[in-house]
Amino acid sequence: MIKITFPDGAVKEAEKGISLYEVARGISEGLARNVLGAVVNGETKGLQETLEEDADVRFVRFEDPEGKAIFWHTSAHIMALAVQRLYPDVLFAIGPAIDDGFYYDFDTEHRFSPEDLEEIEEEMKKIVKENHELKRFEMQREDAIKRFEPMGEVYKVDLIEHFPEDEVISFYQLGEFVDLCRGPHLRDISKVKAIKLLSIAGAYWRGDEKNKMLQRIYGTTYEKAKDLEEHLRLLEEAKKRDHRKLGRELDLFSMHEEAPGFPFFHEKGMIIRNELEHFWRQKHKEAGYGEIRTPMILNEELWHQSGHWDHYKENMYFTTIDDEGYAIKPMNCPGSILVYKNSMYSYRDFPMRWAELGLVHRHELSGALHGLMRVRAFTQDDAHLFMTESMIKDEIKGVINLCDDIYKTFGFSYHMELSTRPENSMGEKEQWDYAESQLKEALEEMGREYILNEGDGAFYGPKIDFHLADAIGRTWQCGTVQLDFQMPERFDITYINEQGEKTRPVMVHRTVLGSMERFLGILIEQFAGKFPLWLAPEQVRVLPIAQRHHEAAGKLKERLAAEGFRVHLDSRSEKIGYKIREAQVQKIPYMLVIGDREIEEGIYAVRHFSVDEEGKNRQFSWSEKELMENLHEEINTKKFDAEV
């Protein structure tokens, strides 16, 4: 007999080898019908899998991330079977679940079209009605190669050959389709009721541009049609908010073939970026941080010492100076440590908080590059804190409060995830256990909820990550706070303690925005290009109706500029309706229409880019004094429109 422990603490005994489906059914028929799988001792499994030892079991539904992963992984196999039936010459690469669906990479002479996607969808629906069960079986490595090699499945053979020789490899069969796969999968594919294939893209095998370009089909599936409809609505909304599209339309930044992955910021983009940096500096000054700057290129030996050479070399760029090896920094921390080593400190100097807007370079595969979200050069809003062990929890709490303050300024909600010791970690387990306990206690003392990610910490320490939710519910990992006992050891940094002895400080690495580039991309999508007044590249546009109004409009523009507002006068001889529409397209927060009445009465017709319940721009009648006061207040309070 084995013991099964459930999240509520209940314990049940069962026969060894019992399936998870039988466990669920033993609780209730309704539970067995509605769950998709289970998390067993931290590992996600399908209902058809069995328990062979004592286990902690948590059943998952579609609402759970693990449930979605099972559902969408199975859907990828359903799509692969449909493609195999319709295009028998196809070769199969990989087909994982992703954040909002799944994809599969195919090698075929046929070029998939949008019309093909509709045909594949229909075939998928037929397969679902056939109600196949996914059957799992295992093979030795050599037997697996012998099975797939004669079939010409070069991608499966390539994957198999990278497994250790003595490893037993698992496969799943769905109808006549057999795939190399760890699982887990649905027990009952009839749950896949709503299907939509979304797009076709190119993808290099293993993400390497030297390999063959495959065809990737993206799709998503749901248990209910209404949930699929809502997802498709959000996808359309996401397209409208795409920062790459808005970046072009609003003239904020561009990307060029001459520098793939290296963004070019235009004048308007730099205004937003500079405002962000000013805000960041102001908040850090208030929180007791000083600012430093360290070089972009540092000697290769430093990266050996830091551990980045062993753990991060494949992501780094290198150069040679005076016949010596140097690296372009992928992270700022070693430079910050060199600043620390420049002086000797006492416990009285702690805590020390040094912030740095440091430009770093990391090699990303070309297929992974994505606008400002994934680039090869970016500015981390970094900081490194040095402290005694007794200060750890207070400093962690300080970072969390700073993040909370900054995120609320932009209207973001967020959740936190705590990641623990990974397999490739540096240092002793005891240090890691202590570091993890300090992060947990800081969170719990603040009453903060968090998700635990076992084994996902940085190679030098555990971390708390901040995942921001945007206006349409997507999440973005931005801030992080990492507790580090390893770098002080490796670089032999010390301070003088209360007993007058040299001892090691504790180091914290942290970011709030993550990177200026990515955060700007997120902001573009969060606000759909309609930036709060304090960030908007152009805050006010003055629109004279006719030539006779130009002089008064020009003087108003000068008075607004003298107050510090970013203002533009549209003096073109175009109709006022055309000027207004263009200002709306450019997402200018305030438009001032100047005509005879405005000049005579000194009351201005003010249009704001936000809309009322009828979908029309909000309008105000303000005197010049009211106009100036309202604009200043909106900028000073950093007010934003939550309905964009």
Mean pLDDT in residue range 530-537: 97
CA atoms lying within 13 Å on the CB side of residue 545: 9
Averaged over 310-321, what is the pLDDT? 91
Domains along the chain? Answer: 2-61 (3.10.20.30), 66-241 (3.30.980.10), 265-295+346-526 (3.30.930.10), 540-636 (3.40.50.800)
**644: pLDDT strictly greater than 60:** no
Give the pLDDT mean for 298-311. Answer: 89
Percentage of the residues of the chain whose pLDDT score is greater than 70:
100
The residue count for the chain: 644
What value does the mean pLDDT take over residues 139-150?
A: 87
pLDDT, residue 617, reads 81
Hey, is 534 helix, strand or coil? coil
Q: Residue 395: pLDDT above 90?
A: yes
Q: In whole angstroms, how large is the CA radius of gyration of the chain? A: 29
Give catalytic residue positions: 333, 362, 380, 382, 384, 463, 509
Strands 413-419 and 451-453: parallel
50: which DSSP letter? B
| CA 608/CA 128 separation, integer angstroms | 51
The pLDDT score that the predictor gives to residue 610 is: 83
According to the model, what pLDDT value does residue 73 have? 96
Listed residue (387, 424, 423) closest to 308, CA to CA: 424
How would residue 643 be classed by pLDDT, with cut points 50, 70 and 90? low
In angstroms, what CA-CA distances link 364 with 130, 298, 378? 42, 20, 12
Question: How far apart, in whole angstroms, are the C-alpha atoms of residue 111 and residue 9?
Answer: 54
Residue 590 confidence (pLDDT) above 90: yes
**Stretch 435-439: mean pLDDT:** 93
Percent of the chain with pLDDT over 90: 79
Give the pLDDT score at 642.
61
Please indicate whether residue 456 or residue 419 has the higher confidence score (pLDDT): 419
Handedness of CA 595, 576, 534, 467 (dihedral sign): positive
Q: Are 549 and 557 in contact (CB under 8 A)?
A: no
Q: With cut-offs at 50, 70 and 90, classify the pLDDT of residue 164.
A: confident
Report helix angle 114-130 to 65-86, nearest 10. 110
* β-bridge partners, 383: 355, 510
Whether the pLDDT of residue 567 is over 60: the answer is yes
Q: How far is CA 316 from CA 26, 300, 589, in A?
A: 53, 11, 42
249-297 pLDDT, tens digit per residue, is 999 999 999 999 999 999 999 999 999 999 999 999 999 999 999 999 9
292 neighbors 356 (Cβ within 8 angstroms): yes
Count the neighbouring beta carbons within 10 Å of the beta carbon of residue 123: 18
Identify any residues that bridge with 377 across adjacent strands, giving them in sequence order.
361
Mean residue pLDDT across the chain: 93
Rounded Cα–Cα distance for residues 519 and 524 (Å):
9
Nearest residue to 480 via CA among 467, 499, 495: 467
pTM: 0.83
The answer on pLDDT for 542 being more than 90 is yes
Q: Is the pLDDT of residue 624 over 60?
A: yes
The answer to which of 48-62, 111-125, 446-460, 563-577 has the lowest mean pLDDT is 446-460
List, in sequence order, every beta strand (DSSP E) within 15-159: 37-40, 43-46, 55-60, 91-92, 97-98, 101-107, 135-140
- pLDDT tens for 352-394 read 999 999 999 999 887 788 999 999 999 999 999 999 999 999 9
Question: CA quadruple 579, 580, 583, 585: dihedral positive or negative?
Answer: negative
Could you tell me if 550 and 544 are in contact, meaning their C-beta atoms sit under 8 angstroms apart?
yes
At 431, is the pLDDT very low, low, confident or very high (cuts 50, 70, 90)? confident
Mean pLDDT confidence for 420-446: 89
At 424, the pLDDT band (50, 70, 90 cuts) reads: confident
What is the per-residue pLDDT for 47?
Answer: 93
What pLDDT, on a 0 to 100 scale, did the predictor assign at position 641? 77
pLDDT at 55 over 60: yes
For residue 133, pLDDT beyond 90: no
